[in-house]
Amino acid sequence: MRRQDWPLVELRTNLLAGPDSDAIVPAPAPRKGWWAIYRTPQAGFGQERLDPIQFDLLRLLMEGRPLPAALDALTADLQAPAVERIARGLQGWFSRWAGLGWFSREGLGVRIRHG
């Protein structure tokens, strides 16, 4: 996972999409971004843009926190509208991430696959 202050992923995508490897590709304007870069069997890697809350949740899970503890830490300083957005989006986020192959079943728990 990567937090960036300039659009590295967008620049790389523009460079790869260009018809000529010697072409000059203008750099996108600087802006913050949160990304998950992951391996795929088909293309070698994939990229998924995240919002800051999704990024922080995945970071907490990667640190080994169980989901309830990660959610407690994530929501401790948030206002009610942000907590409600998490509650509404959580199932969809995990459905998307599981569909991308980010999780595997080990024993009775679900763990993030590293690598």
Per-domain residue ranges of the chain:
1-50, 51-115
User: How high is the mean pLDDT in each 10-residue block of the chain (115 residues)?
Assistant: 67 68 72 82 80 94 93 95 95 92 58 46
Residues 6 or more apart whose Cβ sits within 8 Å of residue 100: 38, 40, 46, 48
pLDDT at 21: 62
pLDDT at 47: 82
Contact 28, 14 (CB under 8 A): yes
pLDDT at 114: 45
